[in-house]
Amino acid sequence: MPLKFELCPGRMIGGSNPCFIIAEIGQNHQGDIEIAKKMIKMAKDCGADCAKFQKSELEYKFNKGALERPYTSKHSWGKTYGEHKRHLEFSHEQYRELQKYAKEVGIFFTASGMDEMAVEFLDELDVPFFKVASCDANNFPYLELTAKKGRPMVISSGMQSMATMRRVYQTVKEHNQNFTILQCTSAYPLDPEDVNLCVIAEYQKEFPDIPIGYSGHERGISITVAAVAMGAKVVERHVTLDKSWKGNDHEASLEPSELTELVRAIRLVGRAQGTGIKQMLPCEKACHVKLGKSVVAKVAIPKGTVLSMDMLGVKVGEPRGVSPEDMAQLVGKAVTEDVEEDGSITPRMVDGYNNKG
């Protein structure tokens, strides 16, 4: 399986590729398509890679009793939960309109398919990848159906155990090689103590051949930036135009200024992560020339003397001498010229020293 793959046309994730940033609009559009368009444009302007929604076919996601349940929350858009959800649900035609607008703006567009029929519609819509919400991570018939479509998958893991996620990995892997798993805790807003960023490292060990990411519901951006520093290759954060709006998700969402700062910070961390190869870099040469230490003579050493450790010390020397890490190689070798006390011992002064570069 690939540790990196093409999530969207022309956009690879994993490996050394930039972290993929999903702006989760969800249903924070208040059921208003013009607000939804403003949020797509906002996501693009802030630097996110993808604007994402949540698509449900309500009669397939909820049973009759759930839809008829009274819903008296301050966040309600209707007397019953069904009325509330219908207010927030865009039609197929509206989704096509939003997809077209996202293409015009220049940002990738997708949605979480919240039930099997929604997945069928999103497949017809030709989204670049499927997002699997945490509530469907243990819905194995759904996972198998979605995986068999062949599109890349991004799978959140809120409310699940490691045992379940191992089964998720095996189920999806059987049918689809291109997927990523996101550490997630399903609470809105999420307290820092419940984020459990260490799961990212555990996922990296459990599933070493897929990219691992993070879906966050905490306040602010610091924890998400930390997730990227820990190796998250995809991050998802809810976004809003106004945290005071009606809706459960707004409080755990990022306003435009926060999303802009998150993108900036993630790109900065990406630049700082490097290759993992430890070596002296060109930017360090000036410091090395100025402060790098060399082997020096603790005492005057006549020509022909065989060196012993008690004759040698380490200081910042001029001219530059043998590197301190090679000091042991000098012991037992003769000097080919007189060395004054406190003088640098250079490679050419030592007979048989094998690092004269």
Within 8 A by CB and 6+ apart from 196, the residues are 183, 185
Give residue 355's pLDDT.
Answer: 65
DSSP 82-140: HHHHHHHPPPHHHHHHHHHHHHHHT-EEEEEE-SHHHHHHHHHHT-SSEEEPGGGTT-H
Helix axes 92-105, 116-125, angle to 10 degrees: 40
Q: Is 81 left (phi over 0), alpha (psi -120 to 50) or beta?
A: alpha
Segments of the chain with pLDDT less than 50:
1, 357
Give residue 357's pLDDT.
Answer: 47
Tens-digit pLDDT profile for residues 307-344: 999 999 999 999 999 999 999 999 999 999 999 999 99
Placement of tokens 């490679």 in the chain: 347
Backbone phi and psi for residue 51, each to the nearest 5 degrees, phi listed first: -105, 125
Give residue 1's pLDDT.
Answer: 45
Give residue 168's pLDDT.
Answer: 98
